[in-house]
Amino acid sequence: MTVRDCAREAEVAAAARRGWLSAQDQDVRQHVSQCAVCARVAHVCEALVADQKAVRMFLVDNPLPSAGQVWRRAALRAQADGVQAASRPLVWAQGVAAAVVVGLAIAALGAVWPALTEAFGRVGSGLMPPSHVADGALRLLGSVVPGRWAIVVGGVAACVAVSPAVVYWALRDERRP
């Protein structure tokens, strides 16, 4: 493809930017109707002028923020990102601590359960014994792990069972903006 130049391109561009208002622009307009190169130049210049007018109208309705506002927003965003990055390990530690507390509470309950069932059984308070499922689970755990280690293993198992919920609870705060 051969690109041709026209000597009147600059004149056509200036007339298109002015909006074809002056008397000499009529002569240029006549030239544009006969020259394909200048017709393309006029078309592009008119499109650029229309875009420039649209941008001006947009900026009238939506002024750009000042440099100070942009700087302040960037500083606040950087500070918020820093706080979030610094608090992430603390959130994880809270989740782990909550899982440990739940596991220890279950282990302590397992340690005192026989004494509680005996005490409530003697008083006759009418409390129901643990369900058959819980009895079966405790007997199974007692047969797999003998002695007091059953309580520790039960506590660890409870921690493992509760950990996903605690991790979800800890991480849900990170997804909020």
Q: What is the pLDDT of residues 101-145, one digit of tens each?
A: 888 888 877 777 776 666 555 544 444 444 544 555 555 555 555
pLDDT at 175 over 70: no
pLDDT at 48 over 80: yes
Integer Cα distance of 71 and 139 in angstroms? 66
Report pLDDT for 73: 94
Integer Cα distance of 177 and 159 in angstroms? 30
More confident position, 7 or 141: 7
Integer Cα distance of 149 and 132 in angstroms? 22
Tokens of 159: 């921690």
Give mean pLDDT, residues 149-160.
71
pLDDT at 33 over 50: yes
Confidence of residue 1 (pLDDT cuts 50, 70, 90): very low
Report pLDDT for 67: 92
Integer Cα distance of 153 and 159 in angstroms? 10
Question: What average pLDDT does the chain have?
Answer: 75
Q: Could you tell me the residue ranges of all domains in the chain?
A: 9-61, 71-175
Number of CB atoms found within 10 A of residue 12's CB: 24
More confident position, 43 or 165: 43
pTM: 0.35
pLDDT at 77 over 90: yes
